[in-house]
Amino acid sequence: MDQVDALGDTDAWLESIALSKIADFAGEADAQDADTLSRYDPVKQVALLACLTHTAGMRARDDLAEMLSKRMAAHVKRAKAELEEIRARQRATSERLIGTYRQVLERLDPGSETSAAEVEAVARAMETVTSCAGNAGQVQALGEMLSALVVQTRSVQAVRAAVEQAG
């Protein structure tokens, strides 16, 4: 391609000539051998070779563009397939994680009577601790700890509800 371009700007040479005439001259030059072309008038030889050079350059550029398009299409196709594989793996991972979360939450089972009983037991323990006379700092610390347990139990219930809604 560089060698053809080094000959000069064929577009400028053939600027005002009809494309059909250029194609005819290029076809005529392509059909002849060197011996037959040597018998032509030198001006016609130059015109035929200029048309042939112009047409060859256009074909080469078209072929390069086509090769690039095919290569890019292959890369796009491969990338789409890889992306779909990644999505499938991510989907499987997400489903596996959701299943694991469900299993964990089913073992915790915050909706059962036992869980409600645990919440009630924590509340009663808190009442007992606050009713006991003793060090005010310890009573406050135990009260905060029991409050945190109540909040945590309620949070587990909220997480389970969210997972159930997610599907």
Q: Which domain holds residue 33?
A: 1-108
CB atoms within 10 A of CB 45: 15
pTM above the 0.85 mark? no
What pLDDT digit, counting tens, does each position of 36-76 carry? Answer: 888 888 998 888 888 888 888 889 889 999 999 999 999 99
pLDDT number for residue 139: 62
Q: What is the mean pLDDT of the chain?
A: 77
Of 108, 126, 155, the residue that ends a domain is 108
72 and 120 assigned to the same domain: no
68 and 115 assigned to the same domain: no
95 and 125 assigned to the same domain: no
102 and 122 assigned to the same domain: no
Of 86, 108, 130, the residue that ends a domain is 108
DSSP secondary structure string for all residues of 42-92: HHHHHHHHHHHHHHHHHHHHHHHHHHHHHHHHHHHHHHHHHHHHHHHHHHH
Residue 148 buriedness (CB in 10 A; 0-12 / 13-18 / 19+)? exposed
37 and 73 assigned to the same domain: yes
